[in-house]
Structure 1
């Protein structure tokens, strides 16, 4: 199914139906598949024909999920993973060799930064960082052994916006692989491949599932690069389970309507916080006060579900605010139907040094809200009473 409309692709992309002509793709809870004869088995293992062999390699449910993401992102091919971080790790492990170098934005997910700082150096893979306001430094950071340019936009957790087209042009100029984590935006709000990305990564656990039920991840993009990721993953085993793939594929069918409501609630929440006397600043891409507001409008359909703001009083005020929340959830997740509040300095980015946190835009009083699908007035009222 090929459609220029994301909403249709998310619903009507389906693998071939069985003899039962089911309307919705069934679950394929099998670990392996049988062969017609010895020649069929030989040709399948020799990669002379495309077919399901073993669910660690491929499965009809994961194939449908990946195909939907590819249609929505404008990608050639993809592979689905057990979690978002297995997608991140496997993508980098498949493409990098000992001695290679990464250039990355400083403002990235805490676990990804831990991967770059503590795990990849074991294999002599190094990373240099640029800050959001230091785009002009990127080319100075590129070395002869640099292979990947990496970014998130919007960033986690400070909700800054990077110029994806500019980064794509830099990557092309220096023959780098440009990888974008598109988790916050989802394929509905933003398609980084249009701006020059070679690969796009999602933690499907977040808005793609959208209901806090299952874990999952996916990388899509250039077919040649995905083949390397597929071969690495086929042998190392980070594959998405068929059941989770089935859930996530169904979740994509409601992604556009869910995300629009998330964005509507988030904008209302951001406007409320912007005028509160106990708030130093609010960051939301579709607020006119956001430093990259015009860039966000160029790249994104709406502003997303994440609002970041700094509460007056530093780290203690941030913790006290969380302790005063009554309706919203205190959770490590985001992109759920339920609104979630986190204090990055003491949770998701607590393992970073204070210096590294500040470089990432995380002050002691920074609060991140993943705005859910409750009535906006109820979300705002809970924030209002907690700020007292």
Structure 2
């Protein structure tokens, strides 16, 4: 009996081990918003503030590599690939930080919200990201631009700067350009100060050095024109800037959106010729209510609408913040709202919250799902 008991014990342990292994190796067939999400190596997917590129039948997810104790960039931008969006293969570091402290992307700098687009004419993959220089807090407010010959990288930094130095937004009036008031003339967070921001106070302040660029995304329109959408003017106003044909610079055309509206985390998509943008307010790492803006022309007038989230915790965007909106390849009018749950006390544990965008009366609506899959779009 002892020998038999020992055999049963061994078989039981073996069976548990096999079941555990099978569970680990099982393929995902659905999305579970806010739950732990593992890659092909059974490690947590580490791609925060991310965006997705679809190229030649594959999806590539780029995001911030986070550690347990710091939001600074100690590794760089990571890349994962997938053919089905449920299961992701670790492709390594797409843009690596440098050991040289003189480098703009030195280890310990801030690299946030990386996005990649493909330029068919140059056959280059172009990455933009929000960059803060090491040791300077959030004062730099730069955009970093890097390129690669392959979607997975490695990407090489080619430039970093503020945006459109010496250029006025298309929707700034002559009176706003020539006003002589200065930031020191006002006390922050007063009605007078807010009105001055609306009238271009910070645009004038940053005219020579270039406009600040923080939370950001990229968008390529149907005509292949590229656009950089970013939070500017100390996160008080969104800008949309048109890119050159090679996506490596700016044409000088840009607009301000919702001046003094305090928007960040822009995510944009287009449906039936209309542009939709979901943003958030600015409450540090804490969640708040999402905002929805629409326009008939990407460089035209944008209209603010109520929070597109509905249901429990809608006022907190389900405890998350927008990072990107992904059109699903091969499915008409199918879009995934990608968001992050930031956790500054343990950044690597920031969870991903993805939802299908549903439409009611032609407007996007976000609802909570404990579990969902792509059949929702069918």
TM-score (ref. length: structure 2): 0.25
Task: Answer with 1 or 2: which has the greater Rg.
Answer: 2
Q: Hey, which of these two has a bigger chunk of helix by percent? A: 1
